[in-house]
Amino acid sequence: EVLLVESGGGLVHPGGSLRLSCAASGFTFNNYDFNWVRQAPGKGLAWISYITTSGTTMDYADSVKGRFTISRDSAKQSVYLLMNSLRVEDTAVYYCARSLGANPYVFDIWGQGTMLTVFS
Amino acid sequence: SYVLTQPPSVSVAPGQTATITCGGNNIGGKSVHWYQQRPGQAPVLVVYADIDRPSGIPERISGSNSGHTATLTISRVEAGDEADYYCQVRDSAGDRVVFGGGTKLTVL
């Protein structure tokens, strides 16, 4: 079964840091790009980051650029999101999403999400 | 940055056809993707590249795209179709991926 399982969410104070993890299984990890998409409580979806198969090209939404870092580890078949300088407005469910084959901007598999709450 | 506009809500009776629109400047020139998000669940891709369906998505769910409006059509609506639906495109400027605000489909 093709699966993405996120973990690492929790409660953090403003200015704090946290690392999210996304464990992949059921498919050839190295063949796919990955993304992080978040959803604030009661709000819509917002893409925040992308990483290519090789891990050498990353991209970020302006809202997190300079604060968040995406990475991947092929040995662990995992994708990570290191979040620094967290703000209250970063509070959201964070989803890991696989890119669809040759189209990196379509997300065909999603994890169940992990919740981050930033509170003062 | 590019803006996608969706109606906040659409209501339809079971067995009828639901039409969910996604407006954007010359969106017909972009490739549009649609996601279904049932309450408390992760999004699911239901249409990509305007008209294609991933395996497992029923044929009664279809997409189209022309001019300034992309459309997701759900025929023979069932109670299980009740969900939020989001359109999405790639934006060559600004944030690379843009989502519409979402449309809540209510099955009466």
Q: What is the pLDDT, as a whole number, of residue A108?
A: 97
Residue of A nearest to B97 (CA): A47
Q: What is the pLDDT of residue B18?
A: 98
Cβ contact A108–B48 (<8 Å): yes
A 33-92 residues with CB < 8 A to B: 35, 37, 44-47, 50, 59, 61-62
Residues of B with CB under 8 A from a CB of A: 31, 33, 35, 37, 41-45, 48-49, 54, 84, 86, 88-90, 94-102
pLDDT digits (tens, 9 = 90+) for B90-99: 987 766 899 9
Q: With b meaning 16 or more CB within 10 Å and e meaning fewer, what string describes B67-104?
A: eeebbbebeebeeebbbbbbbbbbbeeebbbbbbbbbb
**pLDDT tens, residue by residue, B47-70:** 999 999 999 999 999 999 999 999
Distance between B90 CA and the closest CA of chain A, angstroms: 6
Q: Give the whole-angstrom CA distance, residue A111 versus residue B44.
A: 10
Summary mean pLDDT of chain B: 96
Rounded percentage of chain A residues whose pLDDT exceeds 90: 96
Q: Which of A87, A95, A92 is nearest to A112 (CA)?
A: A95
Q: What is the mean pLDDT of residues B39-51?
A: 97
